[in-house]
Chain A
Amino acid sequence: MAYDKFTVLQSTAVPLPNENVDTDQIIPARFLKATEREGFGDNLFRDWRYDVEGNPKKDFVLNDRTYSGKILVAGKNFGSGSSREHAVWALYDYGFRCVVSSFFADIFKNNCLNIGVLPVTISPEFAELLFTAIAADPNTVVEVNLPQQKITLLATGTSESFDINEYKKDNMQHGFDDIDYLINMAAEIEGFAASR
């Protein structure tokens, strides 16, 4: 469905440097039993966030009030594994609008773009710089500028460009989705389908 428009986001960021965070960690399978897209944020990183009795684990970053914000800065190979879009729904529902990593799994990245959470791929060096800056000052503000395709650490002005294809960029900026596009080419699709 059409989603929030994304242009420029300025926010503090939550660091999660773990590598190979798979979608089973982002939202475990046992919490996928819904028929509507609501409330998934409660179970975001469930088994890292809560112990078996449901008490918050103090050492997990989402339970540390030092860190907050709409940007998640994640480690390498974020979102691997299952294609569950619920992982992105959970991030969105929790309040994240942008995920930054030096390396994303393909399906996860697609899912992000399809619901309007911006995946920003940066160099490993810039990722390291972000982790260091956030550790030094958890209130440091990161700007993600989609029109300019640029991510900036505002305190120092250090920035890096990121890639996104023009079509997806336009969709994100206007809150359009692919179905809007596909429905508009129904006649072409019908012609093609008839030939198969």
Chain B
Amino acid sequence: MEKNTLFDKIWDAHVIKSVPAGPDVFFIDKHFIHEVTSPVAFLNLKLRGIGVKYPNRTIATPDHNVPTVDQDQTIKDKLSRMQVEKLRENCAKYSIELHDLGSAHHGIVHVIGPELGVTQPGMTIVCGDSHTSTHGAFGAIAFGIGTSEVEMVLATQCIMQSKAKKMRISVEGTLGKGVTSKDIILYIISKISAAGATGYFVEYAGSAIQSLSMEARMTICNMSIEMGARGGLIAPDETTFAYLKGKQYAPKGADWENAVAHWKTLKTDDGAIFDKELVFEAADIEPMITYGTNPGMGIKVTGTIPTTKGMEGSNKTSYLKSLDYMGFAPGEAVKGKLVDYVFVGSCTNGRIEDIRAVAQFVKGHQKAENITAWIVPGSREVEKMAHEEGLVKILEEAGFELRQPGCSACLAMNDDKIPSGKYAVSTSNRNFEGRQGPGARTMLASPLTVAAVAITGRITDPREVFGN
């Protein structure tokens, strides 16, 4: 019998037709849209004189440019307001389910999809956002698309793409204390570079991955795109089923039993062939932080910034330009460096588990004088739970400022910008130049490391501050 990978099984089941010497016509089960990458797609539908083919397969929420304060009031920024209003108008016109600002399930699209149980194993999911790979944590094929493809999905529920190559990344063993799934993914990207998985779809496997919660798995799949991968996925298991059971859109009753029986078949067959296989040891992974301007430029918090030894030409020039932007020098340690801002949030680490981790660690401490600490829940549901569990009180007592849900300072489309030249240690996913505001200097890390930095005001190994 043919041995297939999980990726093959899901992909092949969604191909309606393979164009000779061309891409596959690929069916999309669920489509998420937001205010920034959808308006031109809707506009083009109108120009073509066509509508939305399967409106019940699309779900919308405004997240990218929304303010994180006063969400009950009219959005002050005119252009942001127009985009959000356009989303409302399009959703109403085409009968698309919208989780609007202030509603019970408003939030970052990649946080609310799983929370609602829309995201399920075996599905194909796309969104005009590269972090759509997050949903792969449930054993789904999920990836980001451009606006032309958003238009295709709205018009036909299909896109045309060639099947990616397959890579398996296994992480074996037990993680050390103070090491989180964010450290796993930052470690992997630092090893294979920000382009190391371009052209591939990645399956994450191994005992260290299997031991993770759904939230932690989402963090890993979320950052697949940061090593260039089309997406990343993890085979569904009991952890996945337990998370989904009872969720609003999860199957119920006999449908649930049937669904689980099918989901249990969604795994890579023994002996299936990958185009590339990598294995890492969990014990080698320590708390990580980035020092440069792409997510591949990461080191352990206690490490030193690589020297230019062995680099030449544009490789060396680009590297030095990056360090110059960050205000760092080759060969120096990052630990102990002063920081100005910390940001906890985003589709990478804005879930309840992340906020619990930060609250647990900062409880009874005060943030350092030099730190501005923002914490932005990924959704209204996360915000509600944080209140109910008393986490908000702990965080506010520690000097953190809690804001309302949205993408916020991850990409700084709204007013949540890090000022030019300032250092931010952030739980988000990109440390690109200007990502968190023009001139902002971003260092990516786990929620635990961010909590430690908030307390000491400097780049800190979380294991030292909070002991064991």
B145 close to A (CB within 8 Å): yes
Given contacts A28-B438, A75-B314, A103-B198, contact A35 B27 (CB under 8 A): no
CB pair B194–A114 under 8 Å, yes or no, is no
Docked CA distance A131–B315 (Å): 14
- Assuming the contacts A33-B80, A193-B157, asked whether A182 and B152 have C-beta atoms less than 8 A apart, the reply is yes
* A104, B226: Cα distance in complex, Å: 14
Question: What is the CA–CA distance of A100 and B80 in the complex, to the nearest angstrom?
Answer: 34
User: Given A76-B195, A81-B130, A83-B128: A165 and B21 within 8 A (CB)?
Assistant: yes
Complex-state Cα separation, A75 to B194, whole angstroms: 14
Pick 16 A–B contacts, CB within 8 A, sort by A: A1-B47, A20-B195, A24-B432, A29-B435, A32-B65, A33-B65, A47-B439, A77-B228, A81-B226, A83-B128, A83-B146, A84-B146, A107-B230, A165-B21, A178-B149, A185-B25
Taking a contact as CB atoms under 8 Å apart, the answer to whether A29 and B314 are in contact is no
Partner of B155, one of A35, A81, A179: A179
Determine if B169 is an interface residue (Cβ-Cβ < 8 Å). no
Known pairs A30-B413, A114-B146, A189-B25. 6 more at Cβ < 8 A?
A: A1-B44, A19-B314, A24-B435, A35-B86, A178-B148, A178-B149
One of B20, B129, B146, B317 near A111 (C-beta < 8 A): B146
What 0/1 readout, one digit per residue, does chain B (287-311) give for beta carbons within 8 Å of chain A? Answer: 0000001101000000000000000
Query: Does A82 touch B at the CB level, under 8 Å?
Result: yes
Q: Interface code A105-118, partner B: CB below 8 Å = 1, 0 otherwise?
A: 11100110011000
CA A196 to CA B19, docked complex, whole Å: 22
State whether A35 and B83 are in contact (beta carbons under 8 Å apart), knowing that A18-B321, A83-B128 are contacts in the complex. Answer: yes
CB neighbours (8 Å) of B152 from chain A are: 178-179, 182
Contact A29 B411 (CB under 8 A): yes
**CB of B318 within 8 A of chain A?**
yes
A125: Cβ under 8 A from any B Cβ: no
A residues bordering B, Cβ < 8 Å? 1, 17-20, 22, 24-25, 28-30, 32-37, 47, 52, 75-77, 80-86, 88, 103-107, 110-111, 114-115, 128, 131, 165-168, 177-179, 181-183, 185-186, 188-189, 192-193, 196
CB proximity of B306 to chain A, nearest CB, Å = 15
- A47–B294 CB distance below 8 A: no
Which chain B residues lie closer than 8 Å to A81 at the CB level? 130, 225-226, 430, 432
Give the Cβ gap from B50 to chain A, nearest Cβ, in Å.
7
* Contact assessment for B438 and A47 in the assembled complex, using a CB-CB cutoff below 8 Å: yes
For residue B16, CB closer than 8 A to chain A, the reply is: yes
- Taking a contact as CB atoms closer than 8 A, the residue among B44, B80, B296, B433 that contacts A25 in the complex is B433
Determine how close the nearest CB of chain A comes to the CB of B87; give it in whole angstroms: 9
A110 with B156: CB separation less than 8 A: no
Tell me the minimal C-beta distance from A162 to chain B in angstroms: 15
Kindly report which residue of chain A lies nearest to residue B143, judged by CB atoms.
A107
Partner of A33, one of B83, B225, B294, B318: B83
B23 located at the interface, meaning its Cβ lies under 8 Å from any Cβ of chain A in the complex? yes
Tell me whether B40 and A20 are in contact (CB under 8 A). no
Within 8 A of A (CB), among B1-58: 16-17, 19-23, 25, 27, 29, 36-37, 39-40, 43-44, 47-48, 50, 53-54
For A52, the chain B residues whose CB sits under 8 A away are 420, 438-439
**Nearest neighbor of B27 in chain A, beta-carbon distance:** A192
* Contact among B43, B50, B160 for A178, CB-based, below 8 A: B160
Contact with A along B153-169 (1 / 0, CB 8 A): 00111111110100000
B67 on the A face (CB < 8 A): no
A7 to B452 CA separation, bound complex (whole angstroms): 57
Q: Do residues A85 and B21 form an inter-chain contact, with CB atoms below 8 A?
A: no
For residue B115, CB closer than 8 A to chain A, the reply is no
Contact of B130 (CB < 8 Å), options: A36, A82, A86: A82
**A32-B413 CB under 8 A given contacts A82-B130, A107-B144, A178-B152:** yes
CB distance from B112 to the nearest CB of A (A): 19
Whether B83 contacts A18 by the Cβ 8 Å rule is: no
Q: Evaluate whether A83 and B37 lie within 8 angstroms (CB atoms) in the complex, with A167-B19, A193-B157 already known.
A: yes
Bound: A57/B433 CA distance, A: 16
With A77-B198, A196-B29 given, is the CB distance from A167 to B129 under 8 Å?
no
Q: With A19-B314, A29-B411, A35-B39 known to touch, is A178 a contact of B159 (CB < 8 Å)?
A: yes
User: Which residues of the partner chain B approach A114 to less than 8 Å between Cβ atoms?
Assistant: 146, 148-149
User: Which chain A residues border B20 with CB–CB below 8 Å?
Assistant: 166-167
Q: Identify the interface centre among A1, A28, A84, A106: most chain B CB within 10 Å of its CB.
A: A106
Residues of B close to A131: CB separation below 8 A: 314
Instruction: Give the residues in chain B near A75, CB-CB below 8 Å.
Output: 314, 318
- Pairwise interchain contact B162-A105, C-beta atoms closer than 8 A: no
Q: Among A1, A25, A107, A186, point to the contact of B146 (Cβ < 8 A).
A: A107
B144 touches A35 (CB 8 A): no
* Interface flag for B147 (CB, 8 Å): yes
Whether the Cβ atoms of A182 and B156 lie closer than 8 Å is yes
B199 at the interface (CB under 8 A from A): yes
Docked pose: A165 CA to B40 CA in angstroms: 27
